[in-house]
């Protein structure tokens, strides 16, 4: 599951990215409001962690713009502004939660999980299709109740296709989910990981197929 961290403190953003990676998330990091706007317009994130004191604009302006265009992306505001009026302003501007610095990483992760478990959001305790169950918190895959090891990127492809099972997922969305803003993407990278995932599913006995919709993307469905 890919997150966007908007934080101008380089040391803190690095620690956040490392901590979230250990918790099973993938994260892109940007340092300005302008970069945040570009990122959310091009990549579909599960949630955003947003600092307010950005060098080029107040983070609340980014948040208000998103809500003005009805962007439902869950946003956890992370800031040193801890006054009651600040918290009220952040929540009324459209924040899903508000965490004041300094903070414990464990609390930040717990708050993210709570946001993503809300109705209409992305995180459930598990995703299931046919005889496959995917634990969203441990990123563990079970086939007929038996755990199987998938690579991190195979798991990322599996997750986005499971979340949209029965629907075509554009190739670009799959690419963004795997690689985010890294930019280091080969021309056939997505095809390689989809091929590997197909083989893993077949080898483990999962009753699941991944269909390629030429020129569009991929569709995951149950084999009946």
Say how far apart CA 4 and CA 49 lie, in whole Å.
6
Pairing mode of beta strands 97-100, 169-170? unpaired
- Reported as a single tens digit per residue, the pLDDT across 28-46 is 999 999 999 988 887 878 8
The structure tokens listed for 3 are 């997150």
Rounded distance between C-alpha atoms, residue 157 and residue 71, angstroms:
24
**Alpha-carbon distance 22 to 14, whole Å?**
12
pLDDT, tens digit, for every residue of 73-89?
Answer: 899 998 888 788 888 88
* Exposed / middle / buried, residue 217 (Cβ in 10 Å: 0-12, 13-18, 19+): buried
123 pLDDT tier (thresholds 50, 70, 90): very low
Bridge partners of 211, per DSSP, are 219
The model scores a pTM over 0.85: no
pLDDT digits (tens, 9 = 90+) for 154-178: 998 998 898 788 888 888 888 877 8
In this prediction, residue 183 carries a pLDDT of 58
CA distance 62 to 221: 37
pLDDT of residue 148: 95
- Reported as a single tens digit per residue, the pLDDT across 194-212 is 999 999 999 999 999 999 9
Q: What is the rounded average pLDDT for all residues in the chain?
A: 87
Domains of the chain: 2-117 (3.40.50.2300), 126-222 (1.10.10.10)
Taking Cα atoms as reference points, which of 86, 95, 88 lies closest to residue 63? Answer: 95
Q: What distance in Å separates the CA atoms of residue 122 and residue 37, rounded to the nearest whole number?
A: 21
- On whether the CB atoms of residues 189 and 179 are closer than 8 A, the answer is yes
Counting other chains too, the contacts that 142-151 makes at CB distance below 8 Å and 24 or more residues apart are: 143/204, 143/205, 143/206, 144/205, 148/200, 148/204, 150/197, 150/200, 151/196
The residue-averaged pLDDT of 21-30 equals 87
CA atoms within 13 A on the CB side of 128: 8
**What string of H, E and C letters represents the secondary structure of 146-163?**
EEECCCHHHHHHHHHHHH
């Amino acid at each position: 599951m890919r997150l966007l961290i908007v934080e101008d403190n380089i040391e803190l953003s690095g620690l956040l990215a490392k901590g979230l990676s250990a918790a099973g998330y993938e994260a892109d990091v940007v340092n300005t409001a302008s970069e945040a706007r570009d990122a959310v317009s091009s990549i579909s994130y599960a949630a955003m962690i947003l600092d307010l004191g950005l060098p080029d604009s107040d983070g609340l302006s980014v948040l208000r713009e998103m809500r003005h265009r009805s962007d439902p992306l869950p946003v956890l505001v992370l800031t040193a502004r801890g006054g009651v009026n600040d918290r009220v302003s952040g929540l009324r501007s459209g924040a899903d939660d508000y965490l004041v610095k300094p903070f414990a990483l464990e609390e930040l992760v717990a708050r993210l999980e709570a946001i993503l478990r809300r109705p209409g959001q992305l995180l459930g305790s598990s995703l299931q299709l046919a005889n496959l169950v995917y634990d969203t918190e441990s990123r563990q895959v079970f086939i007929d109740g038996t755990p199987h090891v998938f690579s991190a990127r195979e798991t990322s492809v599996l997750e986005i296709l499971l979340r949209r099972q029965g629907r075509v997922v554009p190739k670009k969305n799959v690419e963004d989910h795997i690689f985010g803003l890294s930019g280091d993407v080969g021309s056939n990278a997505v095809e390689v990981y989809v091929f590997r995932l197909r083989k893993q599913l077949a080898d483990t006995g999962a009753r699941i197929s991944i269909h390629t919709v030429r020129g569009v993307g991929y569709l995951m469905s149950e084999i009946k």
